[in-house]
Structure 1
């Protein structure tokens, strides 16, 4: 039986927290809006990938004490390459500013990583409702690079 989550308000304090076996279940049950399913892997897949990629850094996004999303970074200080690999905010929590606040926290984390000069992200352009405009509002700019069918964006730190 799944507990109904109380919806925090726009003024909720957003934090990034380690996901443990005790806190895992709400993240596995999160879903994005139907049209977004084409744009982001579900959290179970992301968490599994993270456990097999030593350069993956991932956290649960909380608004106050409510789990609301998931964020994952490719964190390679040897190169140095920092890539926002996944961002998902559960459908019922979208439009509350939680994704923006989570990325702001991620940017602060990346700024203290060795050699960090930029944070990269990519998205599929052809999908309606793609997150490009969202990332642009946060200061990301298109690099002109294309990886697979995804446009690469950069935030200079």
Structure 2
């Protein structure tokens, strides 16, 4: 929906559509966790709100499921059977497993981690930093920006 949002969003949409061959367009909020996009772009306020909402929702949902499971023995048995699948899903979205994410816009490797990161999350953030160095992240981003710099002006 290229006509929605502020002028900044509309202009960004046009630019992305023109310059990025794999750009899929805007993503509805309900599809954020189940879409074909590898990268979601938003401003910092919206991004932080989405992350905090997702954290709160998954914590609440997990607590409700645990509460229900503890109510019946048959639920406990069933939960034991699907526990490995639930662990895989949890790990897919667990910030501790991912550690952190690169902070873009600085000329170097900087990894942003959750404010309440555990030692495991910090360790994984260090791994993310090393992987970013190994894959020449800064050089690749710089090259990509220079390829499209004319379109930005």
TM-score clears 0.5: no
As a proportion of its length, which structure holds more helix? 2
Q: Normalized per residue, which structure has more strand?
A: 1
Greater relative contact order (CA < 8 Å, ≥ 6 in sequence): 1
TM-score by length of 2: 0.31
